[in-house]
Amino acid sequence: MPLVETLPVGPDTAQWSLWSTTARLVVTDPAALAAVRAVVEAELAEVELACSRFRPDSEIMRVYAGAGRPVRVSLRLAELIAAALAAAERTDGDVDPTVAVALRGLGYDRDFAELSVAGAGARVVVVPAPGWRRVRLDGLELTVDPGVELDLGATAKAWAADRCARLATDRYDVGVLVSLGGDIATAGPAPEGGWRVLVQDRPGDPATTVSLPAGAGLATSSTVSRCWGGDGGILHHILDPRSGLPAPPVWRTASVAAPTCVEANTLSTAVLVRGRRAPAWLRELGAPARLVDTRLAVSTFGSWPAEPAVPMENVPVPVQTSAEVTAS
C-alpha cells in the first residue's frame, strides 16, 4: 500500500489521488493555492504523458518504436531521462531505469492500484536489468537499445516534484511544497521554522516530525510499500537491477534530505538496494538520513535529529518479503 496521507487539509493545502498514491500541495499564501494547483496538475499530466509505462500513448513508448535508432524527444522527457541516468551513474547502477522488464516479469505490469497483494501464487519471471548504459541521451536525441524498456518510477516522481515546486514559485512568487507520494520538493520561502514533515512509513512504524529549510527536498523509499503478490511471497517495487529481484529487506524504510528531491530519492532508493553497505556510504556522503530496519530500529545520519529507541514490545514481526523468490 502506498503512502496514506492522514494529515488535515487546511486552506493552504490541496490533496488529491495521483499515480496510485497521494499528491499534496502546501503553499505559504492560501490565496495562491488554486492557481498553483492548476500549474502543478498541468505539469504532472505532461510528465505522465512523457514517461508513463502504462500508457500506450506516452512519448517513451514511441521511443521503443525506434528499435535502437536515435529518436528526438521533448525537453521534458530528455530531462526525465537525464535525471534517471544521473541517478544510475551516481549510485554505480544501484538505481537503474532499465528495470521495466524486470518489474513486469515480477507482475508489476499495470497501474499499482490494479495489483493485488492477495494475488500471491502468480507465476513470476526474474529478469536482471540490462543496464543503464544501454540508454544514451545526446541533447534531445534518445537511443534505447532494442529490448530495453524504462521504468522511471524511481526518479520521475521526484523530478516532477522538483519541477512543479520550481514552476509554481517562479510563477506566483510564493513558498511551495509539492509532495508526490511522500517525495517532497520545496521552492521559494519556507514558513517560519521551515517545512514540517511527518516521516513515517506504515501506520504503527516509528514516526518523527522534522523541519526542512527552504529549497530542500526529502524522499522516503520503502520495502513495505507498493507490495504485491507473486509466487514465493510478497514482492516490493525496489529492485536490485543486477538480480532483477526485490532488494533484500535489510532496511524497511529509508528517508533522505538533499538539495533536490531527485537527489534525495536517488539516495533513499539506493540505500535500500545497498542494504548493509548503505550506512558507511551515507556517512561518507554526510547526507542527512533516517533508516528504519526490519525490526523498526531507527538509525540517523548527518544532521538528521536522533530519535529515542522503540521499546521492543512494540516491534512487530517483520513483514514477509520476496527474499525467497527464486529465479525461474
- What is the three-class DSSP state of 96? coil
Residue type, 153: G
CB of 163 to other proteins, least distance (A): 9
Nearer to other proteins by Cβ, of 78 and 127: the residue is: 78
Compute and round to an integer the Cα radius of gyration of the chain: 19
Measured CA to CA, the distance from residue 19 to residue 14 in angstroms comes to 16
Look at residue 299 and give its three-state secondary structure.
strand
| Beta partners for residue 209, in sequence order | 198
Q: Which CB sits closer to other proteins, 109 or 173? A: 173
Q: How far is the CB of 52 from other proteins (least distance, A)?
A: 16
Measured from the CB atom, the residue of 5 and 145 that comes closer to other proteins is: 5
Q: How far is the CB of 145 from other proteins (least distance, A)?
A: 18
Minimum CB distance to other proteins smaller for 32 or for 298: 32
Residue 182 or 232 having the CB closest to other proteins: 182
In Å, how far from its chain's centre is CA 124? 23
Q: How far is the CB of 326 from other proteins (least distance, A)?
A: 25
Which of 74/243 has CB closer to other proteins?
A: 74
Alpha helix stretches (DSSP H) within the chain: 33-51, 59-64, 75-90, 100-105, 153-172, 261-274, 278-285
Cβ proximity of 190 and 213 under 8 Å: yes
Q: Are 84 and 141 in contact (CB under 8 A)?
A: no
Q: Report d(CA 26, CA 196) in Å as an integer.
A: 11
Q: How far is the CB of 130 from other proteins (least distance, A)?
A: 18
What nine digits make up the cell of 128?
A: 536482471
CB of residue 59 vs other proteins: minimum separation in angstroms? 12
